[in-house]
Amino acid sequence: MTMRFIFVAICLAALGREPAGLAKPPNILWLSAEDISPHLGCYGDDRAITPNLDRLAKQGVRYTHAFTTAGVCAPCRSGIITGMYQTTLGTHHMRCNAKLPSFVKPFPILLREAGYYCTNNSKTDYQFSAPRETWDASNGRAHWKNRKAGQPFFAVFNFVGCHESGIAGESKYLSVTANLKPSQRQDPGTLKLPPYYPDTPVVREDWKRNYELITAMDAWIGEHLRALEASGESDNTIVFFWSDHGVGLPRAKRWLYDSGTRIPLIVRIPVSFREGKQGRQHTIDSQLISSIDFAPTVLNLAGVDVPGHMQGRAFLGGKLGAARRYVYGARDRMDERYDIIRMVRDSRFRYIRNYEPLKPYYQYMNTPEKGATMKEIRRLEKTGGLSGAALLFSAGRKPVEELYDLKNDPHEVNNLAANPEHSDRLKTMREAHYRWVRETRDIGLLPEPEIIACEKVHGARYDILRQDGSTAVMTRLGETAALASSGPTALPRLLTAMDDSDAAVRYWGATGVGNIAPERNPKAMAVMHKALGDSSASVRIAAGRALARMGEPKEALPTLKQALAGPHQWARLQAVIVLDEMEEQARPAIPELKQALVGQPNKYIVRVANRALNDLLGTNNQVR
């Protein structure tokens, strides 16, 4: 080493930096929470009691426009661990188990290959089976303290106490908040509710619990930060705090509004690891960030090359990706109910495309229906006690498109999609959505049974829409899915789509005919009757739905009954959902619905069948 190089190294060290070739890689600590929106003091919430996170924000960067790619944990977590959209990988349906292409690896594998000790304590929930080499340790005992001396670490700790079950479940709520002081408790009567909730004591109690669970989580944050400081590693460790999606209450969790996808994100970077002006204390950063950006950002900070297939962009470190104009989100099957929705968000506006607008906002789902707020909404629905925005989201169907101005309408209750003053913006964001669907190969437009069948052929869901000629298929698929909710003028093109060689295109054709439900249209009737013999179960079920909606339930029921008893679980789920939506028309299928409860391994089918039977028989039976 020359004297000149030594002199440069000494000078850089005095400035808190080291030459790139000599720099020790940073430790990286992730502290994540479940099911919380930015209800923190540092985000301007004057009811929040979060001193540790407020202090962390003063020491680092607080991001104001960070979003997840879904409003529920598992699809988001698949994107976080891979840096890719769940709709590209086929990990979009809740509680699925997709196969990844061989080149897609959870990013901790790349860190381990670079010498990092990687631990996860302890939630995974990736929607795929993670390779064994993903973590050095992934369990309730995993800790960065177990690494070799001098080895850099990437460690994840997950706080699960804020999960919706902590709000809905009395015992969990009491356990998580047991150590709160009286001064840390909330007065539910003085809290400010979002306008889309009915203002009742029951709802206020849930809102209070949300705040108190967050305060308990903040204490957990403090414990980890103090342990890091005591170890002497604080100045060597970049700390991230984030949530996997928004608050675990109706019209938030599972939804693509800010209430479901906008999250807190705080990053503290020691001086020695800052690039330029990045990471300065008490910084507020308004750039758009998606949760799929976390993986490339960590790799970038660690000095590890970001794989080219990652769809996220690094927002910290030396090699930054291009700034985002939009973030995107998707809703697909949530437990036992399908509802395909897509979202585009810029710094001010949100665009939403409802591909299944005939489904209500609040479809009956077993898990959220157990919560006190959802029960209160159902009670008030029956008594006519809902008003304003709370009544709006109890509607029996949704608009095809939604557009919101978050600056003037932060709770997203004033839909501007039909406002002529915003027609240009609507068109621009609509086109951005369609472009994203095409470019990312949105597998969510395929019916789930078709995905399973194609996965067996191609080996990975990612590859389904990447075969020869798939660009043309993707175009037809996207166009037909959009036509399905475009109204009566689309009928001729939807009927033409029934001759397409691709089953997913035919599925959307039949779905669109059912949405329109044209009366006394012999051609539409004939095409749907023919589709009852389609080679695809999804198409047959969609045709049965169409015939039922066109006034021929007797023609539809044999096909739906057959599918409900068939060998493919996701086709069975599709069939039982249609029967449930048929209401009184499904009465002749009561024996088959009862049979679906017996020896059924798929709990989602059981839930929908039970719901249908409760409605038809006036019972109130409960299932898991």
Give SS3 for 237.
strand
Task: Average the pLDDT over 151-172 and give the result.
Answer: 98
Tell me the pLDDT tens digit for each residue of 417-432: 999 999 999 999 999 9
So what's the pLDDT on residue 4?
40
Is residue 20 predicted with pLDDT exceeding 80? Answer: no
pLDDT, position 610: 99
Cβ-based burial of 487 (10 A; exposed 0-12, middle 13-18, buried ≥19) = exposed
- Decide if pLDDT at 127 tops 50: yes
Rg, the chain, Cα only: 26
pLDDT at 226 (0 to 100) = 99
Q: In angstroms, rounded to a whole number, what is the distance separating the alpha carbons of residues 482 and 354?
A: 9
C-alpha pair distances (Å), 220 with each of 3, 180, 223, 225, 294: 48, 12, 5, 9, 22
First to last CA, the chain: 69
Cα–Cα distance for residue pair 80/95, rounded to 1 Å:
16
469 pLDDT band (50/70/90 cuts)? confident
Give the whole-angstrom CA distance, residue 196 versus residue 168: 19
- Domains observed in the chain: 23-324 (3.40.720.10), 341-424 (no CATH), 468-551 (1.25.10.10), 559-624 (1.25.10.10)
Q: How many helices (H) and strands (E) does the chain have?
A: 24, 13
- pLDDT tier, 368 (very low <50, low <70, confident <90, very high otherwise): very high
pLDDT in tens, 320-329: 989 999 999 9
pLDDT in tens, 184-217: 999 999 999 999 999 999 999 999 999 999 999 9
- Asked whether the beta carbons of 373 and 389 are under 8 A apart, the reply is no
**In the block, which residue shows the tokens 């012999």?**
522
The per-residue pLDDT for 418 is 99
Specify the DSSP class assigned to residue 185: -
Contact 177, 211 (CB under 8 A): no
| Crossing angle of helices 448-458 and 537-549, rounded to 10° | 170
Which phi-psi region, left, alpha or beta, contains residue 335 (left: φ > 0; alpha: ψ -120 to 50)? left
The confidence score (pLDDT) of residue 321 equals 85
pLDDT of residue 13: 40
Q: Look at residue 183 in the predicted model and tell me its pLDDT.
A: 99
Q: Of residues 11, 42, 73, 118, which has the active-site annotation? A: 73
State the pLDDT at residue 12: 37
Task: Name the band, by pLDDT with cuts 50, 70 and 90, for residue 102.
Answer: very high
**Residue 14: pLDDT over 60:** no
Handedness of CA 384, 388, 390, 395 (dihedral sign): positive
Q: Write out the two tokens for 271.
A: 């001086």
Q: What is the per-residue pLDDT for 9?
A: 41
Q: At a CB cut-off of 8 Å and minimum separation 6, what does 179 contact?
A: 216, 219
Cβ atoms of 572 and 605 closer than 8 Å: yes
| Confidence category of residue 494, pLDDT binned at 50, 70, 90 | very high
What is the rounded CA–CA span in Å between residue 362 and residue 91?
A: 23
pLDDT at position 232 over 80: yes
- The burial of 222, by beta-carbon neighbours within 10 Å (0-12 exposed, 13-18 middle, 19 or more buried), is given as middle
Percent of the chain with pLDDT over 70: 96
pLDDT for 6: 40
Kindly state the average pLDDT of the residues 97-105.
Answer: 98
Residue 22 has pLDDT above 70, yes or no: no
Helix (H, G, I), strand (E, B) or coil at 119: strand
Residue 52 CB-half CA count within 13 A: 16
CA distance linking residue 130 with residue 138, whole number of Å: 11
CA dist list (Å): 517 to 45, 340, 490, 494:
48, 20, 12, 12
pLDDT at residue 7 greater than cutoff 60 = no
Q: Please give the mean pLDDT across all residues of the chain.
A: 96
Summarised one tens digit per residue, pLDDT across range 25-57 is 999 999 999 999 999 999 999 999 999 999 999
- Can 454 be counted among the known catalytic residues? no
Q: Is the pLDDT of residue 330 over 70?
A: yes
* CA dist., res. 13 & res. 235, Å (int): 14
pLDDT at position 10 over 80: no
Give me the DSSP letters along 324-371.
Answer: PS-EEEEE--BTTB---EEEEE-SSEEEEEES-TTS-TT---HHHHTS
Q: Vertex 293, ends 122 and 461: CA angle to 5°?
A: 75
pTM of the model: 0.96
Question: Which helix (H) or strand (E) covers residue 289, if one does?
Answer: strand 289-290
pLDDT per position as a tens digit, 245-275: 999 999 999 999 999 999 999 999 999 999 9
> Which tens digit of pLDDT belongs to each residue from 508-549?
999 999 999 998 899 999 999 999 999 999 999 999 999 999
Q: Is the dihedral angle over the CA atoms 460, 107, 289, 308 positive or is it negative? A: negative
d(CA 540, CA 543): 5
pLDDT in tens, 271-319: 999 999 999 999 999 999 999 999 999 999 999 999 999 999 999 999 9
As a whole number of angstroms, the distance between CA 434 and CA 438 comes to: 6
ω before 423 within 30° of 0 (cis)? no
AA letter at 186: Q
In three-state form (DSSP H/G/I as H, E/B as E, the rest C), the secondary structure along 564-624 is HCCCCHHHHHHHHHHHHHHHHHHHHHHHHHHHCCCCCCCHHHHHHHHHHHHHHHCCCCCCC
pLDDT value of position 468? 86
Residue 453, number of CB atoms within 10 A of its CB? 20
